């Protein structure tokens, strides 16, 4: 991994972890000073991130953390919901004792974080939970695609958790998905994971409200 790639990874991690929020400007000079490098590797790193869609380059503003328009964001969540549904269906069909143990442990960690109302902890455990389901599908290519898309949507999934009572609701949805997977019910597992990821109605409105609030504060 060269210097530009390491910088790209660091900036990407900060976007995914919520350190850099949708709408935040990424100034090349400030980033170069912060990392103690010239602007060249910073520019290369930002171009790489632009390809992934995590940032976009705007005229007269330079690079900013992406905030997709509502229609595009809805499409992204719809796609993620179908990918997760596929993972859940395969996990229910192919579950091994090792993956079952990992899944129940991940669910328990989510429960503890939800009960403590610790959004940061829950976000981290939520990522682990979904990653376990991807691996449990035992389809390497699908796992790779699910992980990549999940990372692309991570900033928005994190924002969504701020909605009132969302932690408890999210955990209940996790529990329902695990119940279906452990029972070997492929259709129900897919249905529950699809509904869990898909944002619509009030949930989508809450996400857009949080995004607009963040943009106003930036």
CATH number at residue 14: 1.10.10.10
In a shared domain, residues 86 and 141: yes
In a shared domain, residues 122 and 202: yes
Q: Of 65, 86, 102, which marks where a domain is finished?
A: 65
Q: Of 65, 85, 101, which marks where a domain is finished?
A: 65
What would the DSSP string read from start to end of 84-144?
A: HHHHHHHHHHH--HHHHHHHHHHHHHHHHHHHTT-HHHHHHHHHHHHHHHHHHTT-HHHHH
In a shared domain, residues 164 and 139: yes
CATH of residue 185: 1.20.120.530
In a shared domain, residues 111 and 199: yes
Q: For residues 43 and 29, give the distance between their C-alpha atoms in angstroms, rounded to a whole number.
A: 10
Which positions ≥6 away from 152 have C-beta within 8 Å?
Answer: 52, 53, 54, 76
In a shared domain, residues 206 and 115: yes
Q: Of 65, 85, 112, which marks where a domain is finished?
A: 65
Q: How many structural domains is the chain composed of?
A: 2
- For residue 106 the two structure tokens come to 């991940």
In a shared domain, residues 45 and 138: no
> Which strands make up the sheet holding 25-26, listed edge to edge?
25-26, 62-65, 55-58
Task: Provide, rounded to the nearest whole percent, the portion of the chain with pLDDT above 90.
Answer: 61
pLDDT of residue 199: 79
Determine which helix (DSSP H) or strand (DSSP E) holds 57, and give its type and residue range. Answer: strand 55-58
* Residue 186 three-state SS: helix
In a shared domain, residues 110 and 169: yes
In a shared domain, residues 113 and 197: yes
Flag whether pLDDT at 39 surpasses 80.
yes
Q: Write out pLDDT tens, residues 125-184.
A: 999 999 999 999 999 999 999 999 998 888 888 878 877 788 999 999 999 999 999 999
Q: For residues 40 and 45, give the distance between their C-alpha atoms in angstroms, rounded to a whole number.
A: 9
| Contact criterion met (CB below 8 Å) for 170 and 161 | yes
pTM: 0.80
In a shared domain, residues 105 and 52: no
Range of the domain at 169: 70-217
């Amino acid at each position: 991994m060269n210097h530009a790639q390491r910088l790209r990874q660091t900036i990407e991690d900060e976007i995914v972890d919520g350190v850099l929020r949708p709408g935040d400007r990424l100034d090349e000079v400030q980033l170069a000073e912060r990392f103690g490098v010239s602007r060249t590797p910073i520019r290369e790193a930002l171009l790489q991130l632009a390809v992934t869609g995590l940032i976009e380059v705007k005229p007269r503003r330079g690079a900013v953390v992406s905030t997709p328009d509502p229609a595009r964001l809805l499409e992204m969540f719809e796609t993620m919901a179908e990918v997760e549904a596929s993972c859940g269906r395969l996990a229910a069909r192919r579950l091994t004792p090792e993956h079952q143990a990992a899944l129940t442990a991940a669910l328990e960690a989510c429960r503890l974080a939800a009960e403590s109302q610790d959004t940061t902890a829950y976000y981290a455990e939520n990522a682990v939970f979904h990653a376990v389901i991807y691996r449990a599908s035992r389809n390497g290519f699908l796992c790779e695609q699910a992980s990549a898309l999940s990372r692309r949507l991570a900033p928005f999934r994190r924002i969504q958790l701020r909605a009132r009572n969302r932690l408890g609701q999210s955990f209940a949805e996790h529990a329902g998905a695990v119940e279906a997977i452990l029972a070997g019910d492929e259709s129900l597992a897919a249905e529950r994971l699809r509904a869990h990821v898909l944002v619509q109605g009030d949930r989508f409105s809450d996400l857009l409200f949080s995004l607009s609030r963040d943009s106003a504060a930036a």
